[in-house]
Structure 1
């Protein structure tokens, strides 16, 4: 899927079309309320620093997301008093990751 409202949701996504706006809204809320910073590691890896209170919410969301977009690899890493959501994709989905990272940057507090 590739629309103006959802540029990072690729055709490979198996989430039913009617559920996609709800999933996008969940990611938008996480980005707005919990993302402290976005760090691009390389073209296939990004790390989002999250507010620690968002751990269970982020975990629930990314588990559901891998159910429809299995090309994502998400890791929640808690270390040194901080929480990071690391996101990786295969090279052929680098554009999806870039769009997701840009969206997170644009919405983070």
Structure 2
């Protein structure tokens, strides 16, 4: 999946770096994603392998720096399962839709 037309203009990541960032998300999804939930239109929940925590923290820190509309919460609320909650405001649901699609596509490989 290489189309990044859904990336909003407010993203401050240089255009030339966007395919690399998308590839990083695809790699995280392919290698560590164990489940996907969509509790609400503006909320995506990803269940990840525990050993993915360092890579996930690094990736979401960098993504937060360029797309400030994302809210990321990486935690183990039940004491064991690593969970990444991603939230966006209503005006950015299409971006979350595209990220969810990438996650489910990568997981299906």
Matched with 1:105 is: 104
1:19 corresponds to which of 4, 17, 27: 17
Matched with 2:46 is: 48
Q: Secondary structure at the match of 1:57?
A: helix
Unaligned segments of structure 2, at least 5 residues = none
Matched with 1:72 is: 70
**Aligned equivalents of 1:44, 1:85: Cα separation in 2:** 14
Matched with 2:91 is: 92
Runs of 4+, deviation exceeding 4 Å:
none
How many residues are paired up? Answer: 106
Q: TM-score w.r.t. structure 1 length? A: 0.92
Q: CA deviation at 1:101?
A: 0.7
Q: TM-score w.r.t. structure 2 length? A: 0.92
Change (3 A) 1:61 1:103: same
Q: What is the aligned-residue RMSD (CA, Å)?
A: 1.2
